[in-house]
Amino acid sequence: MLRRLLVAVTLLFVVAAPTAQADPGALLEQHPTTVYVGPFPAPVKAWHLVYRSTSATGAPDAVSGTLLVPPTPWPRGGPRPLVTYAVGTHGLGDRCAPSNLLAHGVENESALLAQALSQGWAVVVTDYEGLGTPGTHTYAVGQSEGRAVLDAARAAAQVPGAGLSASGPVGVFGYSQGGQAAAWAAELQATYAPSLNVVGVAAGGVPADLNAVFAANDGGAAFGLVLGAATGFAAAYPDVPFASILNDRGRTAVAKVSQACTIELGAAAPFAHLQDFVTVPDPIHEPHWQARLTENYLGTAKPKPPVYLYHGTLDELIPFSVGAGLRDRWRARGADVTWQEFPLLEHIGGVAIGGPAAMTWLGTKF
């Protein structure tokens, strides 16, 4: 237990080498680690990574993550496939980083990770910008998330002893926040990481239109997610007014959500409205906010790889119409989109049922 605690503390305070001179996806640091499923070490080879990525405004940054590789050789011809895995909402506090949860054996997406690993695929899990590394996590900012997902795959191929190839097939997987990240990776890959051999992207419960998602959750049971997203946007975009317009209640709430993990984040301010926390009317429609939300609106570019897009019809957090709208925009641009809707499933049900199906689809592309 002491060893696991020391490993976790190390992961939270990694400071990467200077990134300005490195190319996107460059591996900055790596060291072997142990990941757990409950109290038991997982039967995989694992490395903790720090790699060069790019912020939403185009600045170089350092992002951490964990690479998992099955211990047995890839039994088929060609390079071992790699899944670059984008987790759903984990929170904004450094302790919420997937690398930290894997080191403690409490990562709640372990079943889907295990599904991929059981096929012999390697998996790299990004912590996203500012989650487990210096700075505030840029939660819900797709431009940053998509780049972190793509760069994780590029960095994983550079890990000595992992047995991965830079030309090997790469699949992208994610749901909810991870679905946003995966969908952005799909749109950005052709221009941001054109040499990466992405053969398929599986994205579910995608918050493709953040204005619509805000409208659906303002005053809702999980309103804390809205505060988390606002905090993430303010961290990503210094021109977005947020800290300067918070009232006393807002400052207290933002301090709370900035350290919260999934459950505490969602429950931070049930049934509240954004207007309750600020000193100006209708802040979301301020021009700087709208400009940055528009930058993170999915469906304006055709994904190069084929995409499996799925959504629960009764999703209470990300309206079904948001996912269907993304489907329509991508198809209108000629994208190869396989669409799957899951009747009567809400948000968590969407990944519980849809996630394994999406992972199976991804396997057909390897």
Q: Are the C-beta atoms of residues 113 and 125 closer than 8 Å to each other?
A: yes
Q: What is the DSSP letter of 266?
A: H
Q: Decide if pLDDT at 339 tops 70.
A: yes
pLDDT reported for residue 77: 87
Average pLDDT over residues 57-80: 96
123 close to 111: Cβ distance less than 8 angstroms: no
5 has pLDDT over 60: no
Beta bridge partners of 337: 307
Mean pLDDT of the chain: 94
Task: Band the pLDDT of 84: cuts 50, 70, 90.
Answer: very high
Q: Return d(Cα 298, Cα 301) in angstroms, integer.
A: 8
- φ/ψ bin of 120: left (φ > 0), alpha (ψ from -120 to 50), beta (otherwise): left
pLDDT digits (tens, 9 = 90+) for 286-311: 999 999 999 999 999 999 999 999 99
Q: What is the DSSP string of 273-333?
A: -GGGGBSSS-GGGSHHHHHHHHHT-S-SS--SS-EEEEEETT-SSS-HHHHHHHHHHHHHT
Report the C-alpha gap between 155 and 89 in whole angstroms: 23
Please give the distance of CA 89 from its chain centroid, rounded to a whole number. Answer: 8
pLDDT for 200 beyond 60 = yes
* pLDDT tens-place string over residues 8-55: 434 444 444 556 789 999 999 999 999 999 999 999 999 999 999 999
Residue 268 token pair? 């931070």
Q: Alpha-carbon distance 143 to 317, whole Å?
A: 21
- Residue 130 and residue 105: Cα distance in Å, rounded? 21
